[in-house]
Structure 1
Amino acid sequence: MKLAQEFILNVATWIPDGRESASAMVAAGRLTVGDAEDLALTEVPVSEDLAAPEMAVRAARRVLADAAWDPARIALVAHGWTYYQGHDFWSPAHYIAHHIGAGAALPLGVQQMSNSGAAALGIAAQKLVADPRAEAALVTTGDRFSLPGFDRWASDYGVAYGDAGTAALLRRRGPDERPGALRLRSLAFVTDASFEEMYRGRDHFSVAPLAHGGGRVDVKRPKKAYLEMHGGIEGFRGAALRCVNRVLRLALADAEVETEDPRIACVVLPRLGDSVLDLMYRPALDAAVKAEVFAVRESSGHLGAGDLLANAEHIVVSGALKSGDIAVVLGGGGGFTWSCAVLEAL
């Protein structure tokens, strides 16, 4: 997505106080030593009381306060998620709009697996491009991966899931921008929808949630079936690396930034285990960029739909960029769609 206009991004993350450590899971027999090493983290945040949309509201309030932005001026609230939002037949996006004071904004739910936050950001950008009356759009994510329906440590391969809310305020650039914001230079997506089968395997369509897997989300089971049906992982690996390379180059081209541009200070990966990053991200970047490539996951794990926005916030609060520096933030989600945001520090 090439953005002819200048859009500014303020970002915030809200992390609950609860924690579960990898070492405690190993001691309890819920995680092997090898799996813990692959995850490359010490702990994940755990919400003991707040549902996913409630965490999203807290992140949204934080970003609005940081930007000193009146929620009544928000035209769109796009909320993305990966897992259960706390009610069965209900709109979490409307809840968020209601509770932040953006009751006249258009609330929109975005469900695209772990890429939901990036997809919501794309919809927000398209809203501002298409509607000159829209001053700003709010993007939120919220996920809470709790038992009995989801085992954050064992439901998937190479991923430990952490709870969090994230938020981003996307708006038109003003005359006096304060430090701490980012310019969204471009946002690109590349999809290979043939891999949607990986998350259903041999399962038939069911009539109610959690009908497969004994009342708990079990991502490993359909993935294992998929690999058995397709003769292993190599076909997916090759396609994933091509898609990651393509989305990176597309985003940089749209931002009018060369792959070897010295302004690129870092490339940030999703908050996944080493086995997953080595499968479909790192090899595609080795020859493509010279900047530092890293994943911020040691105390968070994978935040479901929130990785891309949380990584953008990390770039700001860590002081990793000086004015004019560029960060490339990669994302992706089952289905599969990969995303890449090019961000510039003001």
Structure 2
Amino acid sequence: MRWNNLYVAGVGTYLPERIETAAEAIADGRYTAERQAVNGYRSVRLAAPDETGPIMAAQAGRQAVARSGHASEEFGLVLHSYIGHQGLDLWTPASYVQRETVGGSAVAFEIKQGCNGMMAAVEVAASYLTSRPDITAALITGGDAFRMPFIDRWGSDEQTVEGDGAGALVLSTRAGFARVRATFSIGDSSLEPMGRAGNNWTDTPFQDGEPVGVAARKKSYLLAEDMDLEGAIDKISANVQLSLKQVLLEAEAELSDIRFFLHQNIADSIASHAIYGLLGVDRSTSTYDWGQGLGMVGTADPVIGLDHVIATRNPKPGDLAVLHGAGAGYVWTVAVLEFLETPEWND
């Protein structure tokens, strides 16, 4: 979708202070040197006991709102995304984030589609804002604290390692430091069983008391008798390529025009194949080497990456950035931003 008069007015990040290294996890028997060599993660951030996903999202949200220059009453929408447990069951974390950031009478919704949740929220918010002339701004947040025994950050998945933290972004129809040129999303529900295979339905959350077995589900999916592995890989690869091709087409840009390519902190083996090899992305345009010290921060990696390049790489007017997301289900969302100015936050 090509957008007109849609801007990014503010971004925010919250990362816990405590750091746990891959070497520490290996020494404790919670990770292996073999996985670390393939996946590349150096360390993750660990949330304190009182730092839940919504609490960290609210911290990042307050920073993004303050940087945006928008008054609380200008916000007509709050979207919150996440992957893991948010601290309470039968509760509304999006409304908590709203209460702790902009308050007011805006509607607050959750957007959940695995790791793609926050990028999906960007496209949903863009559609909402541009169809509602009475609303000026939307706050989008993503926050997660991955805790045992629900999720084993070093062992639930053989490739991805999860890190705690949050990101936030303010979309505006009034003004911002960057304009949203285009977004594009595509899904392929035929791949949905990859996140479910080998499991029975349960009556309650976390019924068996064991950490979520993402790797086991993938293995069950791949070992199914009717599984067409090459077909599944072809579908994923085709949609990764199509989503980038289409968003660049609608943004009237070429890959060579992109200064920053901000993708999720996936395992190095996946990034090397599915981003740098498959798409032809120059790794130096990404924040990935920096992100290997954070792990995959739930749904927030591309936005945290955007905040990082603003702080460290001096983006200039006219520079283009791609924010690239993918989530189990499968759904891909990609956005192209054009910097209009170099933000100088006064935090």
Q: TM-score, normalised by structure 1?
A: 0.92
Indicate the SS of the match to 2:6: strand
Indicate the SS of the match to 2:88: coil
Corresponding residue number in structure 2 for 1:183: 179
For structure 1, the 5+ residue unaligned runs are: none
Corresponding residue number in structure 1 for 2:334: 340
The structural deviation recorded for 1:304 is 1.0
Corresponding residue number in structure 1 for 2:81: 80
Corresponding residue number in structure 2 for 1:269: 263
The structural deviation recorded for 1:320 is 4.9
Match of 2:193 among 194, 197, 205: 197
Matches within 5 A, 1:144-293: 144-174=145-175, 181-211=177-207, 214-229=209-224, 230-231=226-227, 233-261=229-257, 264-286=258-280, 292-293=284-285
For structure 2, the 5+ residue unaligned runs are: 341-347
Matched, 1:40 2:40: yes
Q: CA RMSD in A?
A: 1.8
Are the equivalent residues in 2 in contact too, given 1:272–1:297 (CA < 8 A)?
no
Count the aligned residue pairs. Answer: 336
Q: TM-score, normalised by structure 2?
A: 0.92
Are the equivalent residues in 2 in contact too, given 1:240–1:280 (CA < 8 A)?
no
Query: 2:152, 2:45 → 1: CA distance?
Result: 14
Query: 1:299, 1:77 → 2: CA distance?
Result: 29
Corresponding residue number in structure 1 for 2:345: none
Change (3 A) 1:149 1:132: same
Indicate the SS of the match to 1:108: strand
Are the equivalent residues in 1 in contact too, given 2:79–2:109 (CA < 8 A)?
yes
The structural deviation recorded for 1:290 is 6.3
Indicate the SS of the match to 1:137: strand
Query: 2:20, 2:55 → 1: CA distance?
Result: 20
Corresponding residue number in structure 1 for 2:292: 298
The structural deviation recorded for 1:139 is 0.2
Query: 2:172, 2:83 → 1: CA distance?
Result: 25
Range with greater deviation from structure 2 (87-96 or 303-312): 303-312
Query: 2:178, 2:45 → 1: CA distance?
Result: 26
| Equivalent residue letter for 1:62 | Q
